[in-house]
Structure 1
Amino acid sequence: MKRVANTVESSITSETKIDLENGIVDERVEQELRQVDYDDLFKTVGTNLGMVDTQRPSGEVSTQGWRSKFAKEVALELISKLKNIGSRAWNEQIKIYVDKIPLLTDGAKETLKYYLGYQVIMQALDIMVDFTGTAEDGLAYALKYVGLPAWLAEPASRAIVFFLL
């Protein structure tokens, strides 16, 4: 994978098997992970960690919300929030939520916990700091750059930016 003018030239497709520390994501795992409601996942995790403004109705974007922010600004804000939360608390909330999802395929839950874990998200945010463009595009780019397939990076980036800012 190489970086070309704020894009990633990659061989990652929906058919790609991703090598993880604990195995490979096969097609069955991918199909299950595509069914996960990432909006609900990050809304729940963000609320449990005190990152989500419970006074703002769901789906309402304020004038200072994510639409008006650039990738670098959002990345720095999310890095600050995640550092305040800490890796243990973040990973524990991801684990609690993912363990409740009725995924049947072996490895699906571990794959999701790995991809949404503190270390992977922080690596993506570090890459996003140097991205020029919108917050969602920057985070999707960064998540793909650290190894997430596009089918997971894009909905996860939308949910993270919307619910955790």
Structure 2
Amino acid sequence: MSMTRRNRAAAFAVAGVCGLLPGLAGAVCQIRSTMGVSFGTYLTTDLLPRDSAGSITYRCEGQLTPITIDFSAGSSGNPLARSMAGPGAHRLEYNLYVDATRLIVWGNGTSGTGRYGPVVPLFGVDVTVPIYGRIPAGQAIPVGAYADTVVMTVTF
């Protein structure tokens, strides 16, 4: 029996939430596209973490109000310890980061997490924001599909 186990880490789903603020007639922000973070095949024998990236593209028009982008904690309930559900009760730890160095966990800006923004949007220009993901190495988990859903909230 081979000691190498292959595990499939599934992409997370992102749902955009936008709303209009009272008094800002004509202010519009749209989520133009999202690309989920898909880690591909995770090997329990890998010595290095498995990194991946996704993105969000948005466009705002008719406003000067800064925007922020926050992520929920996902199914773990803790943004500092996110995990994907797998076969049975097994969980695969991962996290999402604001920065390419993967030091600032993406949350809502509280409890040790960071966030995107506040940023004054560019009028009528698509802005792409990267999402950085990482699965720590050395997790002994069974073969199977692992997934989590994280809700993205855009506030303006």
Fold-level similarity (TM above 0.5): no
Instruction: Choose between structure 1 and 2: higher helix proportion.
Output: 1
User: What TM-score comes out, normalization by structure 1 length?
Assistant: 0.28
The structure in which a higher percent of residues are strand is: 2
Which structure has the bigger radius of gyration?
2
